[in-house]
A and B are shown apart, each in its own frame.
Chain A
Amino acid sequence: MKKKKILTPKIIGKIIVAIIIIAAFIIIPLPGVVSRYMLKVYNDGLIYFIAALGLSVMLGMGGQVTYSTAGIMGVGAYITAILSTKYGWNTGLAIIVALIAGAIFSFVVGLALFRLKGSYFSFASIGLTNLLVTIFSNWMEMTEGPDGITRIPKLDVGFMKFTDFNSYFRLLFIIAIICYLFVLRLRKTSYGRALASVRDNEITAASFGVNCYMTKVYSFVIAGVFACLAGGLYAVHAGFISPEPFKYDQSAIYLIMIMLGGVDSTFGAFLGASLLTIIPEKMRWLNEYYKLIYGVGVIILMIFMPMGLMGIIDNFKYKMIGKIKKRKQSNAIETEAN
């Protein structure tokens, strides 16, 4: 009998990751480590990551290309902002109401949109985003139109108040980790597997008793709740919202985030979201050429690494594992021969 090892490489890896996460959680918001501006950028990155996670459930697990992420994020942001400014609600409560409203909204809309399939669903989701943006920029009494809602109160959950970027960083960090673990867990559930089977082949999935239509609608609801959460947090974090960040173009950026990180990986969503928020800040010296290079970069990315960064990492890992296994095998054969 072999003694069971406690410290397998897998567990050591997990411990290292946990240490890195805790270190980042403690060190980054300390005063003087990163500038106030960069901290705001990191916070935005975390918010985008939450929205992108929802999309990764739909796109990576469900295979549905949707352009509604930004629009639904706007629903969450505007509900939070309107409730807390016009009606004087507590912001924490407003976000919770926004989440519930977002879930109901995306369920109803999902029922309608998923009567279409594939590309036509994508078309319709563009329509949804445009419809929402038109409402955001024209319903003057509620949304203040293109000027946007200003002076949104900071987040207040009764026992704690979040006023500066440092405390927001900690809050967003925790929420992001919870969301991340939720999606990671979702992959292992029967629902997650049903969703993956719908992505791979709907007819086969249906013949195994999966209700494809409702499975897709639920994935839309999950994505919608994540987007609403991100939207609500965006509103209280920035203190100001306008229709601009909820437009169709921004939805396309979420898609690119997922594809950059690696479509079938939850961690890839984090890589994509953080790279796409931090790279623009570091590439200021390119100024006017930046977006052109960015667009061309996306095409090149799709040509040379269609599975994103995580795809490359996984490939590398499999190759390395394969090599190690081969070496072990050849060693074993040699010892046997001896």
Chain B
Amino acid sequence: MVLQLFITGISMGMLYALMAMGLILIVKAVGVLNFAHGQLFMLGAYITWSLTNQLKLPLWAMIIAMIVCFCIVGLSFMFTVYWPLRNSPWKVTVVISTLGASIALKEAVRLIWSFIPLLSKPLIDKVIRIGDAVMNVQYIFIIIISGALMLFVYFLFEKTFIGKIMQATAQNRYAAELIGIPSVVAIAGTYMISMCMSGVGGWLAAPLFLVSQSLGTFAQKAFAGIVVGGFGSIKGAVVGCVLVGLIESFSILITDAYKDAVVFGVLILVLIIRPTGIFGEKIEEKA
């Protein structure tokens, strides 16, 4: 029982972490929150469902088509929701425009795919036993694939030249433009990577939770994970999200109905005890 809860908790946490990492990358690059991230996650699930079940692509072709689709979605998202507002003096306008985007995406999905939840087949439809734990193989897949993806993105940002370009833009866009970095490309790249991460998350979550519009609410747990983990650090966000997943799955031992209440209660408790989060560093403000 404990092992089973542990594995489901970790895999849920990994899904949240995929979203949280994308969110943090966007926050770092352009300084605003993306409140449509849950809807991008949901869109990922719908797109992959269509690619596998309607176009009937084999797995390898599906993955390539999926990434191409996600890049297009990320790019068009950035150019409609963020780019026209980049010089706005008030960041709140961008936040509100992402809220508008979340409504529009939810409705667009409902109009295209209707509101009936769709069934998505897992990669391997099997149940495994470890000791007394019985679970779907999909949980293990989620841990492996999302872990690998997050490591890949982490190395992309920390170790490669492209990552340095994106980091430079994130730290100081003006200075980056002065030394010849096209900030459009860097920001567009960040949005594409971010969309790919949450889209893949949606693809992985689909077999376990059905493809429906309620997938969009996953983002709120990712928000909770980011706050628990600490201010704006990618490492903190991932650890925080895994923690949120674990709290969520182990809270079943105490209560069933109040699962969400436990998660958000812990969130508020963390804020009271340690407002900077687990990995948060105290950053003094400067004038």
Chain A residues proximal to chain B, CB less than 8 Å: 59, 63, 65, 109, 112-113, 115-116, 119-120, 122-124, 126-128, 130-131, 134-135, 138, 202-204, 248, 252, 255-256, 259, 263, 288-289, 291-292, 294-299, 301-303, 306
Contact = CB atoms under 8 A, between A and B. Distances in A.
Given A113-B271, A295-B107, A306-B85, A256 B99 contact: yes
A138 B260 CA distance: 11
Contacts of A301: 100
5 contacts: A123-B226, A130-B260, A131-B265, A256-B96, A298-B99
Contacts of B105: 295
B104 interface: yes
A248 B81 CA distance: 21
Contacts of A138: 257-258, 261
B95 interface: yes
Interface residues of B, number: 48
B227 interface: yes
B266 to A, nearest CB: 9
B81 to A, nearest CB: 6
A204 B285 CA distance: 11
B103 A294 contact: yes
A115 B271 contact: yes
Interface of B: 27, 32-33, 35, 80-81, 84-85, 88, 90, 92-97, 99-108, 111, 220, 223-224, 226-227, 231, 257-261, 264-265, 267-268, 271-272, 275, 285-287
B93 A291 contact: no
B103 A298 contact: yes
Given A259-B96, A303-B85, 19 more contacts: A59-B92, A113-B268, A113-B271, A116-B275, A124-B268, A126-B223, A131-B260, A131-B268, A134-B258, A138-B261, A252-B102, A291-B104, A292-B104, A298-B100, A299-B97, A301-B100, A302-B94, A303-B84, A306-B88
B95 A120 contact: no
Contacts of B100: 256, 294-299, 301-302
A115 B275 contact: yes
Contact of A292 (B32, B111, B265): B111
A299 B261 contact: no
Contacts of B92: 59, 63, 65, 259, 263
Nearest to B81: A299
A211 to B, nearest CB: 16
A308 B35 CA distance: 20
A143 B97 CA distance: 34
A122 B33 contact: yes
Contacts of A296: 100, 104
